[in-house]
Amino acid sequence: MKEGDRRIGDGRAGQGLESETSLMLKGYGLTTAEIFYRMPDYRSVLNTFIWQTYDLAPDYPELFRFIEYWQTNIEGPLHSVRFTHRRQIGPAEWRKVTAELRLQ
């Protein structure tokens, strides 16, 4: 694991170092991509693949890294990619609570 690896995820090397909450506080948001690709043996047939990870907008380095991986290692050529991104929490929406008062 290298310094700078800070992703959590699905078993890729370098992932699993930080919690989802810490990533969200650093500006990461949930990116969901719907990938349309052609079947290798039947080029007229389209199939879909859904992919999700935490990524940084507006550059989306994880998404583009995955698309590059797909193009070099997977036989099904890409037709199109549709994606959405949503920040779950931002620094202005989070407060550290130091005490809690309960009335019963």
| 34-47 pLDDT tens trace | 999 999 999 999 99
C-alpha–C-alpha distance, residues 26 and 17, integer Å: 14
Q: Considering the domain boundaries, does residue 67 fall inside one? A: yes
Number of domains present in the structure of the chain = 1
- What range defines the domain where residue 58 resides? 28-92
* pLDDT value of position 13: 38
Inside any domain, residue 98? no
Q: With respect to residue 74, please indicate whether it lies within any of the assigned structural domains.
A: yes
**Which has the higher per-residue pLDDT, 71 or 26?**
71
Q: Is 70 domain-assigned?
A: yes
Inside any domain, residue 21: no
10 assigned to some structural domain: no
Predicted confidence (pLDDT) per residue in 70-92, tens digit: 999 999 999 999 999 988 775 56
Asked if the model's pLDDT at residue 32 lies above 80, the reply is yes
